[in-house]
Every structure is written in C-alpha cells, then in structure tokens.
Amino acid sequence: MPTPAPRTALFTALAVAVLVALLVIDARTPPAPLAATVSPRLFSAERAARHVNAIASQPHPVASAAHDSVREYIVSELRKLGLEPELQATTGIGTRVRNAARVTNVIARVPGTNRGPKAILVAVHYDGVQSGPAAGDDGAGVAAVLEMLRALRTGPPIGNDIIICITDAEEPGLLGAAAFVSEHRWAKDVALVLDFEARGTTGRSMMFETGANNLDVIRTLRTVSNVSAASMMVTIYRTLPNDTDLSEFARLGQPALNFAFAGGVTRYHTPFDDPAHLDAGSLQHHGQQMLALVERFGREALPRPATPDAVFFDLPMVGIVLYPESWALPIALLVVVVAVAGGVRSSREEPRRWRSVVLGAVAMIVAAAAAFFANGWLARTIVWLHATRQWDGEPGWAGVYAVALALVAVTTAAAAWSLLRRWVGARGAWLGALLVWCVPTLLTAQMLPGVSYLFAWPLAGAGVLAWSTCYEGRVSDANGWAGVVLALAVLSPVIAMIGGYALPLDQLGAPAAALFVVLTCWLLAPKLEDAIGVPRARGLVVMAVCALGVLCYGMTTVRRSDMSPKPVVLGYVMNADSGMAWLATSAHEAPAGSWAASVLGSEAELPAGVSATSSNPALALLARSWMGRGKVRRVERLPMSASKVDVTKATASSKGTLFELHVSVPADARGVSFRLTGAKVASAKVDGHVVDMTRYRDQSPEFSLTYLAPGADGLTLSLDVTGAQAATLDVSTVRFGVPYAALKVPPRPEYVVQAHSGDQSIVVQRVTLARP
C-alpha cells in the first residue's frame, strides 16, 4: 500500500478531525434564539425569557412562600392569554418514590374545533429545589408553555383540545403528576403526552423518552425541523432508575414524548441554575419543538393509531431516520452480508489472509479492552487528584478531560494498528475487525433493536468503504469517503454524549467512550491508512503528546467556578427525646482540607457500632442517610420542636392492627418523614388517599414515607400493621436550612454551594405503636 505524501496525510488528518468536531458541535448546539421582534406566530426565546426571569428570581421549593408566588404568577399569565386555569389542590402520593405532599396543580384546557373528548397533554412542573432558582429545571419548561400558548392563539384554531398541566411537587417525587393521573377528571381524556424537562442549563432539547409503541409519534416528530432524538436514548432510559413526571403519566397508557436539555449538568440543582446561566438557545429549542408538535398533533386524529416501537436517530442535514423495530434484524443481516462480502473481496489478493483476519480480530478486541480499562483508570485518577489537591471543578463532567481521554483512546487504537501492521496486511486485519463489529450488530438487532442502528449503520458505511477499495478511480474514492462520513455522523455525537455529558467520566463515561473510539478507528482503518499512512513511532509520540497537553491544560484550568460549583450539603440532626444533636455531611463532600472538613473537624466519624437499627433514632437516621460513611460532629441542642403525633385509633384488622394517627407539624417545618421498624405494613393511607406501594423503585420491606407541605391542620396517616405485638415509628420533622450562626459554621467559600434538596435540619422522635 503506497505511503501518502506528508502534506496530504496532514491535510487528511486535519480534515477528519474537523469533521468530527463539527459533528459533535452540531449535536450539542441548540438553535439560535429568536428575538421578540419576530412574527407573533413564531416562538421567541426573548419573549419567553421574561417568564423565566419572573419564575426563577429565587428558589421556590414546595412548602415555601416563593413557590406559592410562582403559582400565582402562572395563573395570572394564563388568564391574560384568555384561559380559565383551575387549581387541583389535593394530597399527591407518589407511586415511584415514598413521598407525598399537599399539591396544587395548575391546569387549563384550550378547546379545539373538533369538540371531541380526547386531548393532548402538555406537561411541565413549576416547583424547584431548595438549592437553586430552577431556571432550567423547570422554569424554562413553564416559560415555553406560556410563550407557546401565546403563539398558538395568534394562528388558526387547531382541531384537538390541549390540556396544559403545570404540575406541583415534581422534585420530591412526581407528586403533582401522580395526583392528576389518579384524581383529575380530564386524565381519562388524555390521548398523547408531551413532557418538557431539564437536567442542566444549556444544550439541545433532546427527545430522550417515549411511551410504548412509539413508531406513530416518531413519524410525526420527524416532520418537525431541527430535532435531536434517538431510540438508543429511549432504550437505555427505560432501564435506568430515573424518573420525570412522565413516569406517572405513563400510567395513562398513552403515547408520549419527553424532552430535556442536559448541558451544563454541573449547575443542575445549584444556585447557578438561574436566568443568567440559562442558554437562550436551549429555551428556543424547547419552545419551538413544543409549538410545532402541538400544532401538528393538534390537527391529526386522536386517539393515535396503535403501532410497534421504532428504531430512529437523527443525522445532520437529513433529519430523523426511522423504521419499525421489526426491520432491525433484516437490516442488520443485509449490512453484515454486504460488509463482510466487501471485506472478503477487498482482501482476496492478500497473502496469508486468514491469519491476518484472526490477528486483526484479536488485536481489535485487545485494543478496545485496553482503552476501556486504561481510560477508566485515568478518569478515576483525575477525579482523585482534583479531590486530594482541593481543585474541585467537577472533573468527571469536564469537556477538556473528555477530549484528552478521547485522544488517549485514539492513540491506543493507532498504536495497536501500527503494531499489528508489522506482521499482517491491512485488508485482512480489517476484515477481522469487520467480523468483530458484526457480533454486536446482530446481537443488538435481536435483543436491543432500539440500539441496533448504532452498529448497523456504521457497518453499512464500512461496507461502502469495503467495496470502494475493490476499485480505483475518483468515484470509488468518493464512495469510500461517503462511507467514512456516514459512520462518523452516527458515532461521533454518541461518543461525545457518552463521555462527560450523559455519564460522568470517572464512572462509565470515559471507558465506554474509549471503547467506541477504538472500535470506530478500526472500523475505518483502511481508508485512514490510505490517506494518512500507517502510524509510525513519531506520529504516535505526537498523538500522545497532544493527549498529555490537553490533560495538563485541564489540570491547570478545571477549577471550582460558576460553571462547576462544588456541592456540599449539611444536615443538622437532633434526637427530640435526649436532646443529642449532630452536624453531618457525606464523606466524599468533606475530604481533608475542605470547607466541610473544617466545619466538622478531623475526627468527624459516626460512633463505633452505630447502624440503621440503632436505638437512638437520630444516629440511626445518620447511619441510614450515608450508609455509615457520613462525617458527623456533636453539636449543641437548638430550640427546634418536633411534630405532635397522636394515635387516634388502634383496632384489629384482618391483617393485624389498624393504627390511625394524626400528626401536627410545626409551622416552620417543611414536612415530616415516617419509618416503621419491627413490623410490616400491609396497606397505608394518607389523608384518606391509598398509598400504592406496588410501583416503588425501592422495594424495601420497611415502610417509610415523607410528607411535605402538610398545612396548619396537619395530616392523617393510617397503617395496617402486621407482625409483632409492637412496632416502632421514627418521626422526623424536616426544616429548610441549617442555622449556621447558632452552630458557628463559617461562611461558605465562593462556589461551594448547596445542591438538590439543600441543607436541612431534622428533629427525630420515636413513637411506639402497640396492639390494643
């Protein structure tokens, strides 16, 4: 095989690198935001931003005054649009997590011209977390709904009714959505669900989850321009222990599409999820897809036709490629036959071909495994260095480290190919690589058809490349590069999404991305070798130096900042009976030399022998919260009251004993948690509503439940208890924040922030439930 001229090789290498970079940038960059001066028929991020600024001016978690103010703002804006919103005030009880709350959903219905009973449900949530203003999650969703409704009403009326459900208490467990599904009269009318979420502050609004039998709705989604969607995300998300409101709406059994942007995940549920850091392009992408889908589905028949699931993915300048899952295996078989036949034809004149095939297959597997484990170790080492040297900066999500580790994987692939080429020919070795690639192509087509395109279509590109090598001329060469572009167009965005975007590098992100990088390099190896040449020692050294340079750049620049704040959550836990109290955090948030370590002290460990079954309910809570790995310090008792628990009735039942309790919660408390030990709970009710424990993700046999925003009249809890003569009920009263001044906690350093549920103060008491 002739060696290309150095200048040609350099140009080709740069061209491939630029192509990959452009594909990655395209996959991550949202559309440009539209100004308020555009046509009123269009969605404008600038117009929607006014709502984000109003909604996300401050944190507004459930049970806060700011939360109620946000609801009032939404109701006012809906009325300005000519709608008559109603408030669904009830007790929402989660079916996925062990939480309940007094919720108030904001619901409105836009009547269509068809006057039919079926409707499209557009869902977002208006509550946020304690630790941040929630501009992305889900202020952007609420703002998009308000701007979408404004734009919708400037055009001709649509046929189908639109139900707007702006749910309450999504963050503590999808409680508003659960209440809508279980109790609202319009739930039975829903024929399609569109849900909009966020897990960051930037990036494209990706369609990542659907209901079952999604071929029909994806066909309509395909008609919308500039969409990011892939059945791989849907397939994987269905296996994850993650939830959005759609997890509750799924009980309706209707087609559904779920959208979210996830760039800037390090700001997620922190003070920097604010309007200043929200990408206007992400808001634009959210809203323009919402408007387009409401208009399209609004003019199509409801209910939707029954269809199977689909395989689908988006390509630049093409849009969504779509076909039924039943086609996945035939397509895979066809692609395998074409690619292998091309590889056999291409290598037919190579001496000792089958020796090359075997060595090529083995070498590809070894190179992929080496990159997988090496990059995993490197990523964990990087995170360890940041933690021990107090650099922080969330290195597991840092893009610069993702690039460095990708370069390490490319270097590994090139080194393995260069070493192999000393003993075998290129075409035979490549045929071995193709045969290896055929294995996941066929397996995923049979077992995980939603993921199969990730292997079938790059293999199709390799098949085009294989046949192009059998002939000479410009047309053949162009066909070969077309195969390379197809493979890279499918794989590059996925690799970029895996490493440091959807998954942290130090967990599965870096190893999985490295695995795909090596497989991709070997899939395209002959074309790259034709254009660039076999990597020699000097080239490999240059590649390694580039990887090291990017790595060092990351180590000097990735630091704690508004892009990557350091989350640290403190908890104050007090035993209401003994008055003993502790200040605590998780061990990984309090390494030596950190602010949390200075707050808790160097000897901040749980007392020896403490476990989740400790006789001291406060220590049991601490052990349970961090699985024995928390950092704790004894502190003084503060004047915080516990909830008042009255056992109003204890009667025999067919299962054991039915206990009815009334719990009065202090006015300054956010909520109350219950945990029963020593017996099992056959059934439970809260405020007269049945607790459905069959769909819980956590199927622990112990009964536990957290109730938020109980109100001045408290709550009622009914437990049908089986088993022992007496059971123990731990009752924890939860308040926002930790009193720093009273506990002499020093101020947080810059960018050391609360995250998620934020700091909490908890007063624990133990109540005995004895059979009469």
Tens of pLDDT, residues 96-134:
999 999 999 999 999 999 988 999 999 999 999 999 999
What's the pLDDT score for residue 732? 97
Report residue 566's pLDDT band, with 50, 70 and 90 as the boundaries.
very high
pTM to 2 decimal places: 0.95
Q: Is 68 buried (19+), middle (13-18) or exposed (0-12) by CB count in 10 A?
A: middle
What's the pLDDT score for residue 593? 84
Contact criterion met (CB below 8 Å) for 670 and 698? no
User: At residue 164, does pLDDT exceed 60?
Assistant: yes
Alpha-carbon gap, residue 206 to 225, rounded angstroms? 13
DSSP letter for each residue of 720-745: EEEEEEEEEEEEEEEEES--HHHHTP
What's the pLDDT score for residue 1? 52
What's the pLDDT score for residue 451? 97
Instruction: Report the percent of the chain where pLDDT is more than 90.
Output: 81
User: At residue 700, does pLDDT exceed 60?
Assistant: yes
Report residue 92's pLDDT band, with 50, 70 and 90 as the boundaries.
very high
Q: Is 389 buried (19+), middle (13-18) or exposed (0-12) by CB count in 10 A?
A: exposed
More confident residue, 590 or 684: 684
Alpha-carbon gap, residue 258 to 275, rounded angstroms? 23
Contacts of 468 (CB under 8 A, 6+ apart): 476, 477, 479, 480, 483
> Average pLDDT of 400-418?
95
Report residue 416's pLDDT band, with 50, 70 and 90 as the boundaries.
very high
> Average pLDDT of 165-184?
98
User: At residue 628, does pLDDT exceed 60?
Assistant: no
pLDDT in tens, 14-27: 889 999 999 999 99
Contact criterion met (CB below 8 Å) for 718 and 684? yes
Contact criterion met (CB below 8 Å) for 228 and 251? no
More confident residue, 592 or 574: 574
What's the pLDDT score for residue 2? 57
More confident residue, 672 or 346: 672
In 290-353, the DSSP E strands lie at: 310-315, 319-324
CB atoms within 10 A of CB 271: 18
| CA proximity to 497, closest of 284, 199, 238 | 199
| CA proximity to 262, closest of 219, 233, 225 | 233
What's the pLDDT score for residue 536? 83
User: At residue 597, does pLDDT exceed 70?
Assistant: yes
| CA proximity to 226, closest of 164, 293, 169, 305 | 293
Alpha-carbon gap, residue 477 to 204, rounded angstroms? 35
Alpha-carbon gap, residue 643 to 641, rounded angstroms? 7
User: At residue 379, does pLDDT exceed 80?
Assistant: yes
In three state form, how does the secondary structure of 10-47 look? HHHHHHHHHHHHHHHHHHHCCCCCCCCCCCCCCCCHHH
Report residue 626's pLDDT band, with 50, 70 and 90 as the boundaries.
low
Tokens, residue 329: 């295996």
Alpha-carbon gap, residue 529 to 526, rounded angstroms? 5
> Average pLDDT of 145-168?
97
User: At residue 614, does pLDDT exceed 90?
Assistant: no
Least confident of 110-124, 241-255, 339-353: 339-353
Least confident of 396-405, 527-536, 657-666, 761-770: 527-536
Contacts of 277 (CB under 8 A, 6+ apart): 135, 201, 202, 264, 267, 562
What's the pLDDT score for residue 533? 75
HSE of 98, CA atoms in CB hemisphere, 13 A = 17
- What phi and psi values does residue 41 have, to the nearest 5 degrees? -75, -15
Report residue 723's pLDDT band, with 50, 70 and 90 as the boundaries.
confident
Average per-residue pLDDT in the chain? Answer: 93
